[in-house]
A = this chain, B = another copy of it.
Amino acid sequence: MGLVVQKYGGSSVADAEGIKRVAKRVVEAKKNGHQVVVVVSAMGDTTDELIDLAGEVSPVASGREFDMLLTAGERISMALLAMAIKSLGHEAQSFTGSQAGVITDSVHNKARIIDVTPGRIKTALDEGNIAIVAGFQGVSQDKKDITTLGRGGSDTTAVALAAALDAEVCEIYTDVDGVFTADPRVVKKARKIDWISFEDMLELASSGSKVLLHRCVEYARRYNIPIHVRSSFSGLRGTWVSNEPQGDQPMEQALISGVAHDTSEAKITIVGVPDKPGEAAKIFRAIADAELNIDMVVQNVSAASTGLTDISFTLPKTDGRRAIESLEKAKGGIGFDSLRYDDQIAKISLVGAGMKTNPGVTATFFEALSGSGVNIELISTSEIRISVVTRKDDVNEAVRAVHTAFGLDSDSDEAVVYGGTGR
């Protein structure tokens, strides 16, 4: 039996009862013969409460001190979990990100892990301890300051530790049963996915699926660490994310892994851009200089008569205002007629490695949309993903229609599969 890294989110350790339940599960893994490293988030709403407090004392909550503040949350949950495990008669030691050797760059509030040097964790494990590690935090390489990894950072901590410790698996415990073929709140007939490849999971994550964040999956793929996403409440088998299916995991992969949707984006259309080299570059330089991340970018051929074209892109709504301001400022240098801002959009994405070798997927997708009366405003594709932008009000119906069209509904006989090698 090898080493297992388990990660528990804030909802799993929201109160004393939750912590005791997690302690029992951790001890179970230890009893089964594993070495166990546990990564915990802060209890329930602790982080939000700390953010509120920060807002009360300072208008700008960011930087070094903000990280110092937020990391108190995991310190509390990890110490309590260690105490709960000890009261079950097993040895446990808790470690801050810094003590666990999570070395990051110096970008406070969204630091990136540079290296993991888990010497103290190894020692603790060798001495028979269960090691508890604070998620979401590290220490900067140059200044030795406390840093945080940003949203979803605890998952990344878990995967990074799993890689550094050569773990068998990284188990991500959450409040749902795994990764689903669509958001179960929208599609009642969504199925839990038993196994999914890193590639498909990456596309789902960047298309609006919130169970795992892109950064965490990317890290797991790079170091080839299998992730098992499962519920801390049910004990059921969840979703395995890995390079290849293993053991009793399905050897054939569904044509389509899932349908993701995202209503957190807005669309900006730049109308009347001169259709000549360098124009698009100027536009996206202006956006990049404002440090804004954009998602889909679409440009159509220009109407020959005018020599002008329109460029559209999507980006998080929260960045919308800054993007408009940056573009207005750069208007003189770029040269365009006007800007249109639209935050009533939704993005629907179909993800599946099978589409590479199976013609007709796009057609089926678009037929399903039109069949339910949904209009397509933008289209963008990758090798294993097709995304469209529609009206926000249409999104639930559209997702359900597409889910059904690809045989993903839980009451359909079987999902459409392709004779996968488990790619």
Copies in the complex: 2
* B residues less than 8 Å from A60 (CB atoms): 87
Partner of A57, one of B59, B68, B87: B87
A76 vs B59: C-alpha distance when bound (angstroms): 17
* B residues less than 8 Å from A94 (CB atoms): 65, 68
A56-B16 in contact given A69-B75, A76-B72, A83-B69 (Cβ < 8 Å): yes
* B residues less than 8 Å from A80 (CB atoms): 53-54, 57-58, 65, 69
| B83:A78 contact, CB within 8 angstroms | no
**Does A71 make an interface contact (CB < 8 A)?**
yes
**Does A66 make an interface contact (CB < 8 A)?**
yes
**Does A93 make an interface contact (CB < 8 A)?**
yes
* B residues less than 8 Å from A68 (CB atoms): 75, 78-79, 82, 94
* B residues less than 8 Å from A205 (CB atoms): none
A76 vs B66: C-alpha distance when bound (angstroms): 9
**Does A92 make an interface contact (CB < 8 A)?**
yes
Partner of A16, one of B57, B78, B79, B82: B57
A95 nearest in chain B by CB position: B68
**Does A64 make an interface contact (CB < 8 A)?**
yes
A83-B71 in contact given A64-B93, A65-B94 (Cβ < 8 Å): no
A50-B76 in contact given A16-B56, A84-B58 (Cβ < 8 Å): yes
Partner of A83, one of B19, B20, B54: B54
**Does A86 make an interface contact (CB < 8 A)?**
yes
| B93:A79 contact, CB within 8 angstroms | no
Partner of A79, one of B66, B75, B86, B92: B66
| B83:A65 contact, CB within 8 angstroms | yes
- Nearest-Cβ distance from residue A137 to partner chain B, whole angstroms: 11
* B residues less than 8 Å from A59 (CB atoms): 87
**Does A61 make an interface contact (CB < 8 A)?**
yes
| A75:B72 contact, CB within 8 angstroms | yes
- The 8 A CB mask of A87-117 against B (1 = contact, 0 = none) is 1000011100001000000000000000000
A299 vs B65: C-alpha distance when bound (angstroms): 58
| A76:B69 contact, CB within 8 angstroms | yes
- Nearest-Cβ distance from residue A27 to partner chain B, whole angstroms: 13
- Nearest-Cβ distance from residue A119 to partner chain B, whole angstroms: 11
A15 nearest in chain B by CB position: B56
| B76:A20 contact, CB within 8 angstroms | no
- Nearest-Cβ distance from residue A40 to partner chain B, whole angstroms: 12
Of the A-B pairs whose beta carbons lie under 8 Å apart in the complex, a sample of 20, sorted by A's number, is A19-B57, A23-B57, A50-B76, A53-B80, A57-B81, A57-B83, A57-B84, A57-B87, A58-B80, A58-B84, A58-B87, A59-B87, A61-B83, A65-B80, A65-B94, A68-B82, A72-B72, A72-B79, A75-B75, A99-B144
